[in-house]
Amino acid sequence: MSEAVIKCENVYKIFGTNAQKMLQEANGNVDAKTFQENGCIVGVNDASFEVSKGEMLVVMGLSGSGKSTLLRCISRLTDATGGKIFIEGQDLLKLNNKELINLRRNKMGMVFQSFALLPHKTVVENIAFPLQIKGIKTENSISKAMDMVKLVGLDGRENYFPRELSGGQQQRVGIARSLAVEPDIWFLDEPFSALDPLIRKEMQDEFLRLQEKLQKTIMFITHDFDEALKLADRIAIMKDGIIEQLDTPANIVLNPATEYVKKFTEEVPREKVLTIEDVMDKTNSESSDLKVLKDEIIENVAEKILTQEKSVSVIDQDNKIVGSINPSKIIQTVFGGRKSNS
Amino acid sequence: MDIIKKYPKVFQWLFLLAVFFALCFAIDVPETYKFIRGQAEFVKDPNQSTFVFLGKEVRYYAFDVFWRLPPLLGWLPIWINDSLFFLMNEWMPMEFWNEDTQEFKTRPLLLQISRNLTAFMTFLIELIREILLGGLETIVAFTSWDFIDAYPWAELPGLPWTIVAAGFAILSYKLSGKGLAIFAGLTMVYISIFGQWKPSMQTLSFILVAAPLSFAFGLGLGIAAFKSKRVEKALYPILLVMQTMPQYAVLVPALVLFGVGDHAAVIITMVVAVPPMILLTLLGLRAIPPEVIEAGRMSGCTNWQLMFKVLIPTARRDILIGVNQVIMVCFSMAVISAFIGAKGLGFNLLLALNQLNIGLALEAGLCISLIAILLDKMSLAWANKQIDYFGNLTFYQRNKNLIFFGGAFIIGILLAYAGSFYFKEGFNYLFEVPHNKGISTADFWNKGVDWIFETFFVYIKAFNTWLIQDVLQPMRALYLRMPAVATLVLVVGAGYLIGGIRSALVVCALTLFIALSPWWDRALVTTYMATFGVIISCIIGFTVGTLCFQNKNSAKFMLGVCDIFQTFPSFVYLIPVMMLFGITDTSVLIAVIVYATIPATRYTIEGLRSVPAGLHDAATMSGVNKFQRLTKIEFPLAFPHMMLGLNQTIVFALFMVIIGAFIGTEDLGQYILKALSDKNGAGIGLTLGICVAFIGLIFDNLIRTYVGKRKKHLGID
């Protein structure tokens, strides 16, 4: 496995005047209640994880769970109270102001929930802004920004002002701006939360298309579990500053680690999340002629499998049989086991 | 007992009032008491007591401490005076090179600084005046160059009025559109043909110097306060006092520090105009969504880039509203500064009022009002103007306005040149209409005023006598009858009941300062006049506001009227009242009422408007009628905002009462006016100003605390 692009070790963020001192005294055992009694609020509590190159980690949690705070620690918009954060091996908390600015100018891009566009600049000027801040000549930055405008499909609107655009279009500008410096690391803080459901779906698809093309290392924040399932390589579920579970979507749905996580998974249409591989039997029993690919989402092949009476063989990309699946298993996955996880 | 438990607040208030009246009746008026014209006056009277503090002897009439506190702060004005005198004339003498006499001269440092500052300001003002009105002295003075003596033809002629008028119209067109452009053009033509061109341009040049400087300082300090909590905390009390301090009171120290004239006025104008700029800068920067700041940071902005490329452009509107405020304050100061010898419209107005030439005063006043409206509308239009994209326009489209101005410039010069042939004898009306050669309607107005006086004299007199004898005198006597201790108990008690111990302490400190100053009696008179004005204003304002609110168009119309009236410098209000009621307290009070009704009306309408539409619908669906909706829904919810209106009403009333001293009242204002012509007036003027500011701040503190609590209770913002 390649080296982690983002690496967090025991990151804490505690708000309050005595935070530093109290954290030292707590000695790694931070209890939100005792801290609150002393006038401190725990934002992030002992977060450790890695994100490897090209991976998309979605941090999911309800409001106040500390997900945005965690992201701001990693982008160092706020300083973590304790722990270590490494960006491509560099210790983020040890960087001085100049190095930090350099890192942001070349390595990081960020998209915000409320778009955060500059109201006095046009679409193309907004996108060119990070480039101009770097000191790139106006002409070059504008032509680069025009490429970005095309990438997010806003051609023809490059001279509009943010006030003249719809929410979805504004967020396209936000996305284009964050990509203008061609960063390796891409932070997205609830980018689609402020949009209408239909636009949101459209933007999610667009986002997946972009990621297919660009292969960035991504931290994506959302409060929408469905969105997390749709986009993530891995999901981290946060509650009260603590990461409750960090795993692939399928594993989270199949094996929720805590009661809290389970509450989210109960309502999830499993056939839309799980692949054949997740539910197949590893043994190869007697089977019909039909073969299905192990990476298929259940929903897409369920109808085909249910027409068969016997089990269906499961194959991998190389056409090798790796297991089988019985039609009854499909029915069980779709309808059964919602209440109790069998 | 149950009733007490049910309405604890009411009984606390009743108890407070009971204590207050008990004190009032328990403490008798001392036999020797008469209205104290000002304790630390420099008249020596054998009945006076004296005390010495910090080497200053203070004389005063001693009374029972319960009746009147001794003026323990009486040394403060004297001490301020002496310190200023010392700083200006004796502190840190240094050798300075004197250009005129070509030798070194010993001068105190501060005097030198103040002289250099005034010289610089004078230079700026003169420079602009010469562009607008002609002359070449500044450049000559600046370079000490004898060019003009040798070549008299080289004198700069100044801009013909046609060009300035066209310039204003074109600028207005660019900022807002046809309507404002026409208004600007007509205003300029009016000014010109009524012969007010020269004083108007003098006032304008004053603003052109004072406003940009105030803007720069205000923006700088606002940014500093935004960046550092400590700076903000240090600035906060000064901002608070400056907002309630009558503009008129700061003129006095300016006299001592910078002398008489435009330059002193400009410097002191900056002192008054900078605070609102700081506040609005701070407000604008605070209102920026945190995500925009984060977006700037994530784009890799340095602090400098973040401030000038992200924060300030994002806060553009609020900052430009600050510019609007700065311009309006500068304008009203330009008028009031006539008291310390600033030239311009204010000076003409003052002169006319002094000669009781109401007609002339009316013309000058109309000019002032028109310019005020114009400047206000233009700067607001600028603030509300959206930036447009220019990239794909042609050269002509982009520079249309500049080209038009160029055209107007050439035509103006040609007209002026042609005029010099046509108007052979004396004045070229196409270049500048001289001050006394314009059309004047003064005679007409004066005759009108005379007619009003002759016709209605009996009624006006009767009204006057009734008001003064039956209302004002008794009210004044009641205020003066309050023992100092009783007043203190009432105010501090109110503070405690409204805002707890903290509010009580603040209010107590403010009241004590006034009580211990030598002007308690006068402060009472100021308060009584302000109270009278505020009560009437509130009744009128709340009624008019509520009535206008019933209809969308009338509400909008009324707000527009308030907008316009608010732009007039307070001084202007004295003209019509003097016209109708002559020189009496009635005139002052009517001016106070007219002026203070503006915020009362405005805040009533705004408060009622701010009631959410959802609640309206909910109330309608519950089947309320109009009256029920007003009393049950709209008034309770609008009440906090209306109380803020009351706060503004008090400040406006105080300002007007103080300026009313010009007509002649027996309050703090009269002393400020006196201090203006007193060599030793600086300390007195400043202390008096602080006293007035503190009266305002006492009410400000109480009302704001109450509104804050009430809003929290109602869950509004």
Which has more confidence, B355 or B156? B355
Q: What is the rounded radius of gyration, in angstroms, for the C-alpha atoms of chain A? A: 23
CA B503 to chain centre: 27
Task: State how far the Cα of A43 lies from the Cα of A243, in Å rounded to an integer.
Answer: 11
Q: Do A197 and A324 fall within a single domain?
A: no
Asked if B387's CB is within 8 angstroms of A114's CB, the reply is no
A117 in any annotated domain:
no
Which of B291, B297, B298 would best serve as a mutation to test chain A binding (most A beta carbons within 10 A)? Answer: B298
Q: What are phi and psi of A91, to 5 degrees?
A: -75, 105
How much of chain B, in percent, has pLDDT values that exceed 70? 90
Element holding B103 (H helix, E strand) = strand B103-108
Q: How many helices (H) and strands (E) does chain B have?
A: 32, 4
Q: Sort out which chain A residues have CB atoms less than 8 A from B287's CB and list them.
A: none
Quote the pLDDT of residue B40: 45
Pair B706, B104: CB distance under 8 Å: no
Confidence of residue B582 (pLDDT cuts 50, 70, 90): confident
CATH number at residue A293: 3.90.1280.20
pLDDT at B240 over 70: yes
Q: Sort out which chain B residues have CB atoms less than 8 A from A109's CB and list them.
A: 298
Q: Is the dihedral of CA B499, B502, B506, B512 positive or negative?
A: positive
Q: Helix or strand or coil: residue B705?
A: helix
Q: Do A99 and A190 fall within a single domain?
A: yes
DSSP line for B35-64: --S-TT-S---TT-EEEEETTEEEEE----
Asked if A116's CB is within 8 angstroms of B295's CB, the reply is yes
**Residue among B400, B504, B490, B428 at smallest CA distance from B161:** B428
Q: Sort out which chain A residues have CB atoms less than 8 A from B316's CB and list them.
A: 120
Q: Which of A268, A284, A319 is the last residue of a domain?
A: A268
Q: Do A101 and A188 fall within a single domain?
A: yes
Asked if A120's CB is within 8 angstroms of B314's CB, the reply is yes
Task: State how far the Cα of B22 lies from the Cα of B28, in Å rounded to an integer.
Answer: 11
pLDDT at B213 over 80: yes
Q: Sort out which chain A residues have CB atoms less than 8 A from B291's CB and list them.
A: 112-116
Q: Do A294 and A330 fall within a single domain?
A: yes
The Cβ-side half-sphere exposure at B634, using a 13 Å CA radius, reads 24
The Cβ-side half-sphere exposure at B19, using a 13 Å CA radius, reads 16
Give the pLDDT confidence of A209-264 residue by residue, as tens digits: 889 888 899 999 999 988 998 899 999 999 988 999 999 988 888 888 899 998 88
**Residue among B642, B639, B608 at smallest CA distance from B626:** B608
In this structure, the strands spanning A4-15 and A82-87 are antiparallel
Beta bridge partners of A82: A12
Give the pLDDT confidence of B443-499 residue by residue, as tens digits: 777 888 788 778 887 888 888 888 888 888 888 888 888 888 899 999 999 999 988
**Residue among B535, B566, B509 at smallest CA distance from B697:** B509
CATH number at residue A61: 3.40.50.300
Confidence of residue A342 (pLDDT cuts 50, 70, 90): very low
- Rounded to 5°, the CA angle A162-A168-A174 comes to 60
**Residue among B573, B358, B581, B356 at smallest CA distance from B463:** B581
A149 in any annotated domain:
no
Q: Which of A214, A243, A268 is the last residue of a domain?
A: A268
Quote the pLDDT of residue B104: 73
Q: Do B194-385 and B445-481+517-714 show the same overall fold?
A: yes
Asked if B386's CB is within 8 angstroms of A161's CB, the reply is yes
Task: State how far the Cα of A97 lies from the Cα of A80, in Å rounded to an integer.
Answer: 15
Q: Do A66 and A209 fall within a single domain?
A: yes
Q: State mean pLDDT over B655-678.
A: 76
**Residue among B349, B216, B330, B352 at smallest CA distance from B273:** B330
Task: State how far the Cα of A50 lies from the Cα of A86, in Å rounded to an integer.
Answer: 9
Q: State mean pLDDT over A129-156.
A: 89
Quote the pLDDT of residue A253: 86
So where are chain B's domains?
Answer: 114-158, 194-385, 445-481+517-714
Residues 6+ apart with CB under 8 A from B561: none
Task: State how far the Cα of B370 lies from the Cα of B187, in Å rounded to an integer.
Answer: 6
Is B389 exposed, middle or buried, given 0-12, 13-18 or 19+ CB atoms closer than 10 A?
middle
DSSP line for B157-192: ----HHHHHHHHHHHHHHHT-HHHHHHHHHHHHHHH
Confidence of residue A187 (pLDDT cuts 50, 70, 90): very high
Q: State mean pLDDT over A99-126.
A: 90
**Residue among B203, B292, B714, B613 at smallest CA distance from A121:** B292
Q: How many helices (H) and strands (E) does chain A have?
A: 15, 13
Q: Which of A268, A298, A326 is the last residue of a domain?
A: A268
Q: Is the dihedral of CA B51, B56, B57, B59 positive or negative?
A: negative
Q: Do A317 and A301 fall within a single domain?
A: yes
DSSP strands (E only) in chain A: 4-15, 41-52, 56-61, 82-87, 90-91, 108-111, 185-189, 217-222, 234-239, 242-247, 287-293, 311-315, 321-325
Q: Could you write out the three-class secondary structure of B467-489?
A: HHHHHHHHHHHHHHHCCHHHHHH
For the record, the structure tokens of B479 come out as: 């205020």
> Domain total for chain A?
2
pLDDT at B46 over 80: no
**Nearest chain A CA: its distance from B306 CA (Å):** 9
Confidence of residue B284 (pLDDT cuts 50, 70, 90): very high
Is the full-model pTM beyond 0.90?
A: no
pLDDT at B41 over 60: no
Quote the pLDDT of residue A340: 46
In this structure, the strands spanning B56-60 and B49-53 are antiparallel
The dihedral formed by the CA atoms of B146, B152, B154 and B157, expressed in degrees to the nearest 10 = 120
User: Which domain, by its residues, includes A285?
Assistant: 271-335
Q: Per-residue b/e over B588-617, b at no fewer than 16 CB within 10 Å?
A: bbbbbbbbbbbbbbbbbbbbbbebeeeeee
For the record, the structure tokens of B348 come out as: 């003409």
Asked if A110's CB is within 8 angstroms of B298's CB, the reply is yes
CA B161 to chain centre: 30
Q: Do A263 and A187 fall within a single domain?
A: yes
Task: State how far the Cα of A88 lies from the Cα of A82, in Å rounded to an integer.
Answer: 19
Quote the pLDDT of residue B79: 82
Pair B528, B476: CB distance under 8 Å: yes
Q: Helix or strand or coil: residue A4?
A: strand
Confidence of residue B616 (pLDDT cuts 50, 70, 90): confident
Q: Do A214 and A247 fall within a single domain?
A: yes
Task: State how far the Cα of B172 lies from the Cα of B572, in Å rounded to an integer.
Answer: 25
Q: Helix or strand or coil: residue B608?
A: helix
Quote the pLDDT of residue A277: 81
**Nearest chain B CA: its distance from A175 CA (Å):** 11
A311-315: strand order across its sheet: A287-293, A311-315, A321-325
Q: Do A317 and A229 fall within a single domain?
A: no
Q: Do A277 and A325 fall within a single domain?
A: yes
Q: Sort out which chain B residues have CB atoms less than 8 A from A101's CB and list them.
A: 300-302
Give the pLDDT confidence of B334-351 residue by residue, as tens digits: 888 888 888 888 888 888
Q: Do A258 and A188 fall within a single domain?
A: yes
Quote the pLDDT of residue A285: 67
Q: What are phi and psi of A63, to 5 degrees?
A: -65, 140
A190 in any annotated domain:
yes
**Residue among A86, A58, A57 at smallest CA distance from A73:** A86
Q: State mean pLDDT over B396-401.
A: 76
- From the CB of residue B403, how many other CB atoms can be counted at a distance below 10 Å? 13
Which has more confidence, A169 or B67? A169
Determine the residue of chain B that is closest to A103 in CA distance.
Answer: B300
Minimal Cβ distance to B302: which of A101, A114, A159: A101
Four-way CATH pick for B445-481+517-714: 3.90.1170.40, 3.40.720.10, 3.30.200.20, 1.10.3720.10: 1.10.3720.10
Q: Do A187 and A243 fall within a single domain?
A: yes
A28 in any annotated domain:
no
Q: Which of residues 184-223 of A touch B (CB under 8 A)?
A: 187
pLDDT at B90 over 90: no
Length of chain B in terms of residues written: 717
To the nearest whole number, what is the mean pLDDT of chain B?
82
Give the pLDDT confidence of B288-310 residue by residue, as tens digits: 999 999 999 998 888 889 999 99
Give the pLDDT confidence of B146-166 residue by residue, as tens digits: 555 555 555 556 677 788 888
Confidence of residue B387 (pLDDT cuts 50, 70, 90): confident
Q: Sort out which chain B residues have CB atoms less than 8 A from A130's CB and list them.
A: 299-300
Minimal Cβ distance to A116: which of B291, B301, B309: B291
pLDDT at B715 over 50: yes
Quote the pLDDT of residue B39: 44
Pair B50, B71: CB distance under 8 Å: no
Q: Does A69 touch chain B (CB under 8 A)?
A: no
Q: Helix or strand or coil: residue A60?
A: strand
The answer to whether the complex's ipTM is over 0.90 is no
Q: Sort out which chain A residues have CB atoms less than 8 A from B309's CB and list them.
A: 129, 133
Give the pLDDT confidence of B253-283 residue by residue, as tens digits: 777 778 788 888 888 888 889 999 999 999 9
End-to-end CA distance of chain A: 33
For the record, the structure tokens of B81 come out as: 């005076």
Helices (H), B667-680: 668-676
pLDDT at A191 over 50: yes
Is B374 exposed, middle or buried, given 0-12, 13-18 or 19+ CB atoms closer than 10 A?
buried
Assign domain B194-385 to its CATH architecture.
Orthogonal Bundle (1.10)
